Every structure is written in structure tokens, then in C-alpha cells.
């Protein structure tokens, strides 16, 4: 799992050691039994389940359908994170935060992020703070792909 973005949630602790806040398991989809996720969440409280979002792929392998998300939204103890891809990233960069707001308000997502290669970085922040945030690597971890423009607006199509 990556320490940047939705993969690891590592923060530099005193003394230069990393301390995990969560461990991201990304790509849950309709094939994953909700009961199994409940068991994993109970046994591994640091588990955060990532859902990929790309409109042309929702409901296909690795991209959960909205019907599946409806089954997850009331599961106690399940930490969900959105991983925005393709058009979803373009929409946020264009100022449309409706998907992020919906994921937080209706489904209880705690974080949203993206690791689209054209962004040059992997923002991963609380859902409510995603708009207007300058993507940056987590403190103490070097950015493997620095971008001289802190507010890129790439064409991600």
C-alpha cells in the first residue's frame, strides 16, 4: 500500500517513524459480500475500504454500483473512501464537488482522493475539505512525482 493517497494513511511520527492511521483496501465492488466486509472491519479497525468512481465503469469489476453502495451505507464501523478517476477528477477540478458532497452526506465516506498520473500528486483528504485543497504529499514522505504547478488543471480525458 502506498503512503500517499488512499493506500496507507501513514503520518510521520516523532522520531521519523511512520504511524498508520488506516490501511486502504481499494476496489471493492458488487462481487464482495457485505457480510465479509463487516467481518473485516470488525477484525481490522484500521481497514478503510476504497471505492473507485468513474461514470463509464460503475457496476463493473472494481467499480461498485450505486445499488451496492446503498447496501454499505448503513453498515456500522465500515470506513469508506472514494477514489476518483477520469471524469470525476475533471469535474472536481472544474469546481463541481457534487459527487464528493454526495458520498459524504448520503454514504458516510470520510475521505476522497485521486492518484491520476496527470495530476502529478495524489491528494487524499477528508471529503468535506477536498475542494480548494492544494494536493500535496503526506508530511515527511517525499513526492515521487513533484509538480511545479501546485494547482494543475489538466485534461484528464
Residue in the structure block whose three cell numbers are 461514470: 55
What pTM value is reported for the model? 0.67
Tens digit of pLDDT for each residue in 25-45? 899 999 999 999 999 999 999
Tens digit of pLDDT for each residue in 70-90? 999 889 889 999 999 888 888
What are the Cα distances from residue 60, in Å, to 24, 57, 67, 147, 156?
20, 6, 12, 32, 21
The pLDDT of 108-134, averaged and rounded, is 58
Amino acid at each position: 500500500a502506498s503512503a500517499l493517497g488512499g493506500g496507507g494513511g501513514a503520518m510521520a511520527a516523532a522520531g521519523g517513524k511512520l504511524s498508520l492511521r488506516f490501511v486502504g483496501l481499494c476496489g471493492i465492488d458488487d462481487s464482495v459480500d457485505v457480510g465479509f466486509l463487516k467481518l473485516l472491519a470488525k477484525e481490522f479497525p484500521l481497514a478503510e475500504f476504497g471505492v473507485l468512481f468513474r461514470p463509464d465503469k460503475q457496476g463493473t469489476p472494481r467499480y461498485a454500483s450505486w445499488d451496492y453502495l446503498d447496501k454499505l451505507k448503513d453498515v456500522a464501523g465500515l470506513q469508506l473512501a472514494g477514489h476518483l478517476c477520469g471524469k470525476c477528477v475533471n469535474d472536481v477540478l472544474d469546481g463541481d464537488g457534487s459527487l464528493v458532497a454526495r458520498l459524504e452526506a448520503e454514504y458516510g465516506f470520510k475521505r476522497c482522493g485521486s492518484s491520476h498520473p496527470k495530476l502529478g500528486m495524489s491528494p487524499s483528504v477528508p471529503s468535506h475539505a477536498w475542494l480548494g485543497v492544494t494536493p500535496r504529499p503526506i508530511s515527511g514522505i517525499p513526492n515521487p512525482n513533484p509538480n511545479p504547478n501546485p494547482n494543475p488543471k489538466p485534461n484528464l480525458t
